[in-house]
Chain A
Amino acid sequence: MSLKKLKYIRIVISLLIFSFLLLFFLNVHNGWLDGVSTVLLRLQLFPSLIRFFAVAFSVSSLGFLVVILLTFLFGRIYCSSLCPLGTLQDIISNISRRFRKKLKRRFVYNPSKKSILRYSVLAAAVLLWFFGSLFLINLLDPFSNFGKITVTLFQPVFSWLNNSLSFFMQSRDIYTLSPMLAQSLPIDAVAVSVGIFATVFIMSAFRGRFFCNTLCPAGSILGLVSTRSVFQIRFREEACTMCRKCEFACKGECIDSINKTVDASRCVSCFNCFTVCKQEGLYFHNTMAKTKKTTTIPLQNIAVENSQAEKRNFLLTLAAGALSIPLLNKVSIAVPAESPGIVPTGTKAPVTPPGSLGNEHFNNNCIACYLCVGACPTNVIVPSFFDYGLKGFMQPKLDYTKSFCNYDCLRCSEVCPTGAITKIDKETKHTAQVGIAKFVKKSCIVTVEGTDCGACSEHCPTKAVAMIPFRGNLRLPEVTEELCIGCGACEFACPTEPYKAIFVESNFEHKTAQALGEDEGPRESEEEEFPF
């Protein structure tokens, strides 16, 4: 097979994988789509690595070994095909080229010692992780960023288009396309995504895979592996005519056509060089075959050796910075006394999804890819900002002012790629106590207005919130804490404004609620006749 075809194979495969993941993040799913996408999730480097530690030694978390092995054999195939942000950058780069003047020299070899930045970022990210914060990985990991961009920027557009079409069809009396519930995303989280997308957009529009070779921690790890990979792209000196076409087509800016070297650590295996070369001046060199005379001068290892000191300095500054940023507190609003909803309420710490075991496990393992945010059918999972402090920057939380967690739904636990939300079954979910409902009597409609309400109890799936007799014929909510799972249905349903008269206080460490009794089946009726 001609090496020239490799590029086209790469394009087809990467677009296929990209489409699967895009649809998955956009929450378009069915049985087999879910299956394929789940396999692709397991093959994402950082999600898989983190999963390995979160869900100790399960087979499902060994995907990173496959990626490393693949890289060791053929170079950064992960970056060219498996990484959805990589393909997104290729798409941006390709489109932007069409809007710019025809550049003969699309890319040029970048000889600078950017590797220092690159490996410093990687070292900082990894060390912070071992110190318990995924801050840098959440900010830089390509899978996580693809997710953030898709869920907070693309999904609202997708949903708006879907709903416009759906309601247009409805106006023509066609009800075949279901509208999607609006996701109310916090503006700060959207701003972060816009910042990330803008950065990635500009970098890829002008410099191809510049992001992958500077800021991306996955790219850096695989760069370290790919310098030692079995098959590497090399120059065939006798065939090369120094036309430099390969250099100008290289998205990784890693081909030095003057010196006839390829920086394997930065090569993202796009194979553009093979296709563009008219002379077959480049080939896949088998580094295991010892007998051949070397036609290249490997450049790879210099950077690694030089970067140790910088890594440490960078890390210390960063860690100090992290410690100094305090938790943001909620601002209280002035309201008139003697009306329902006057008492400021709301959980002190954010509530994490059922299955996440508690804030600590969640913060330690969530890479803020927002797959759960996009997948949640009730939209109760929303991105946070500094709610968890810097440690859990941007990680999702449950927002019961927006919605509540469906009693029988396990979706987030099914999709979470890192094990931050562990996979649970319905039985576990039904007793997973993520928080406890707190009732504020003096803020309740029933107490203040003297009329029936009970919206909280209506929505409670375990009847932890029950209505008990109160003043005449009225009924007042009462919470049985052992039965409460903290799903937030009561808080969401509570009609008081501006503050809810019932709210869920998070369990920093999730507890187990009392299970409901056995399902004994319906009872027989005593009467046989109508009572009227």
Chain B
Amino acid sequence: MDRRNFLKNGIMFGAATGFGAAGLANATFDMTSFRQQSLKGNYDLVAVRGEDVVAMFEKAMQEMGGMSLWVKPGQTVVVKPNIGWDVTPERAANTSPELVAAIVKQCFEAGAEKVNVFDHTCDNWERCYTNSGMKKAVEDAGGRMIPGNFEQNYRAITIPGAVKLKEAKVHEQIIDSDVFINVPVLKHHGSTSLTIAMKNLMGVVYDRRFWHRNDLHQCIADFCLYRKPDLNIVDAMLVMTQNGPKGTSTADLVKKNSLLVSSDIVAVDAASAMIFGSKPKEIAYLANAEKMNIGTLDLSQMNIKRLYL
């Protein structure tokens, strides 16, 4: 059963039974989730420039309407940063742990019951979690680090409408959590030219090699048909402009000092690509996503809030 069917069935079940406690619980849960699916916040996109990533994030969320728009009391939130590489935070190959900690805190302030953070890492997962600074930052903020490298944590799903990626094994946190917050870091990428929000979702499936074997750009677009993140927060503070996605030294980085927040994964990727200096239409997976109506690359039609701190 996919998510949409689950929602529909849940609502019908809730309506039908109506009186039972279980039915009520189901109905309320599904209604909030349903609302989240179409929730944008005050703007299509909020973009902030500044020095302090935490302050920038807080300002952006305030403009958006606050985290409580997305996170309701008692909900389980999954935060998916990029923690793919065994490098220190200065190397900016992973999402800023400060930013992730700030997100975790806001989720709790909005009443989240649990905030779980994970990535299916490329380097050894324990070294990545520790050396990226993510484990300490998240746990200090009250969140939990969940293993992402074990097949036991993945469940098979199907993706209706997908061109190449018709089925995949997806991490149970993505399947089960009420709210899904995607926190990529903007980077150069040898294979796909850029990795941002859509590419970051490669870290929630078990078999990445399948994507590489079967038209990488199409698989990246296909996955968005399964579950789009409720919120995308792009770390574009230190941007790796060469030797990505892991980088070889801090000399690969440029201080772009930017942060982008949007519930539209394609729009946020398009804006991030422009910050990087690329044309969104030339990124093949973005072009695929637009073709499949997953989102639009045309930022001129969007309600964008730009902030300079």
Residues of A that sit less than 8 Å from B by CB: 163, 167, 170, 173, 175, 178-179, 181, 340, 377-378, 406-409, 445, 449, 451-455, 457-463, 466-467, 473, 475, 493, 495-497, 516-525, 528, 530-532
- Among the listed B86, B238, B245, B250, which residue makes an inter-chain contact with A458, where contact means beta carbons less than 8 Å apart? B245
Q: In the bound complex, do residue A175 and residue B146 qualify as a contact, i.e. CB atoms below 8 Å apart?
A: yes
- Measured CA separation A495–B219 after assembly (Å): 14
Across-interface contacts of B243 in A (CB, < 8 A):
463
Q: How far is the CA of A175 from the CA of B172 in the complex (A)?
A: 14
Contact B274 A531 (CB under 8 A): yes
Complex Cα distance, B81 from A266, in Å, reads: 62
Q: Which of B126, B150, B218, B304 counts the most A-chain CB atoms under 10 A from its CB?
A: B150
Q: Is the CB of B86 within 8 A of A406?
A: yes
Contact present for B253 and A475 (CB under 8 Å): no
Does B145 make an interface contact (CB < 8 A)? yes
B189 at the interface (CB under 8 A from A): yes
Q: Which of A451, A460, A525 meets B217, CB within 8 Å?
A: A451
Contact assessment for B216 and A377 in the assembled complex, using a CB-CB cutoff below 8 Å: no
User: Could you list 29 examples of A-B contacts with CB < 8 Å?
Assistant: A175-B116, A340-B213, A378-B124, A407-B86, A409-B124, A451-B215, A455-B191, A455-B208, A458-B245, A459-B122, A459-B246, A473-B284, A475-B191, A493-B209, A495-B212, A497-B213, A517-B249, A520-B249, A520-B251, A521-B250, A522-B255, A523-B251, A523-B254, A525-B255, A530-B47, A530-B49, A530-B258, A532-B47, A532-B304
Given contacts A452-B191, A454-B190, A516-B248, contact A531 B275 (CB under 8 A): yes
Q: Are A496 and B144 in contact (CB under 8 A)?
A: no
Cross-chain contact of B299 among A178, A528, A532 (Cβ < 8 A): A532
Leading 8 A-B pairs by shortest Cβ distance = A454-B191, A495-B209, A522-B253, A457-B190, A495-B212, A519-B249, A520-B251, A467-B190
Residues of A within 8 A of B270 (CB): 532
Known A-B contacts A377-B127, A532-B271; A458 and B191 likewise in contact (beta carbons under 8 Å): yes
Asked whether A530 lies within 8 Å of B213 as measured between CB atoms, the reply is no
Contact with A along B238-273 (1 / 0, CB 8 A): 100001011011110111111000000000001100
- The answer to whether A455 touches B209 (Cβ under 8 A) is yes
Cβ-closest chain A residue relative to B299: A532
Tell me which residues from 288 to 309 in chain B have a Cβ below 8 Å from any Cβ of chain A.
299, 304, 306
- Which B191-227 residues have C-beta < 8 A from chain A? 191-193, 208-210, 212-218
What residues of B have a CB within 8 angstroms of the CB of A181 in the complex?
124-125, 149-150
How close is A420's CB to chain B, nearest CB, in angstroms? Answer: 23
| Chain A residue nearest to B116 in the complex (CB) | A175
Bound together, the chains give a CA A143 to CA B52 distance in angstroms of: 55
A451 CA / B192 CA spacing, docked (Å): 10
Name the residue in A377, A453, A496, A528 with the highest tally of chain B Cβ atoms < 10 Å from its Cβ.
Answer: A453
Contact assessment for A179 and B152 in the assembled complex, using a CB-CB cutoff below 8 Å: yes
Interface of chain B residues 125 through 158 with chain A (CB within 8 A): 125-127, 131, 144-147, 149-150, 152-153
Q: How far is the CA of A522 from the CA of B145 in the complex (A)?
A: 29
Q: Which residues of A contact B189 (CB under 8 A)?
A: 454, 458
Instruction: Determine the distance from Cα of A163 to Cα of B251 in the docked complex, in whole angstroms.
Output: 40
By a CB distance below 8 angstroms, the chain B residues around A449 are: 213, 215
Q: Number of B residues whose C-beta is below 8 Å from A?
A: 61
B109 proximal to A (CB < 8 A): no
Q: Beyond the given A175-B146, A409-B86, A525-B256, please list 9 additional residue pairs across the A-B interface where CB-CB is below 8 A.
A: A178-B126, A408-B87, A409-B124, A458-B245, A461-B246, A519-B250, A522-B92, A530-B47, A530-B275
Question: Is A455's CB under 8 angstroms from B255's CB?
Answer: no
**Do A475 and B190 touch (CB < 8 A)?**
yes
Q: Is the CB of B213 within 8 A of A495?
A: yes
Query: When the two chains form their complex, are residues B124 and A462 in contact, meaning their CB atoms are under 8 A apart?
Result: no
Contact A461 B212 (CB under 8 A): no
**Residue contact B127 to A406, C-beta cutoff 8 Å:** yes
Residue of A nearest to B172 (CB): A170
Q: Taking the nearest CB of chain B, how far is it from the CB of A90, in angstroms?
A: 35
Query: B123 interface residue, CB < 8 Å from A?
Result: yes
A516 near B249 (CB under 8 angstroms)?
Answer: yes
The answer, among A406, A496, A520, A523, for a CB contact under 8 Å with B123, is A406
Look across to chain A and name the residue whose beta carbon is closest to the beta carbon of B240. Answer: A522
Q: Does B191 lie within 8 Å of A496, measured CB to CB?
A: no
A457 touches B191 (CB 8 A): yes
How far, in angstroms, from A521 to B126 measured CA to CA in the complex?
A: 26
Chain B residue at minimum C-beta to C-beta distance from A341: B213
Digit string of B87-131 for contact with A (CB within 8 Å is 1, else 0)? 100001000000000000000000000101000001111110001
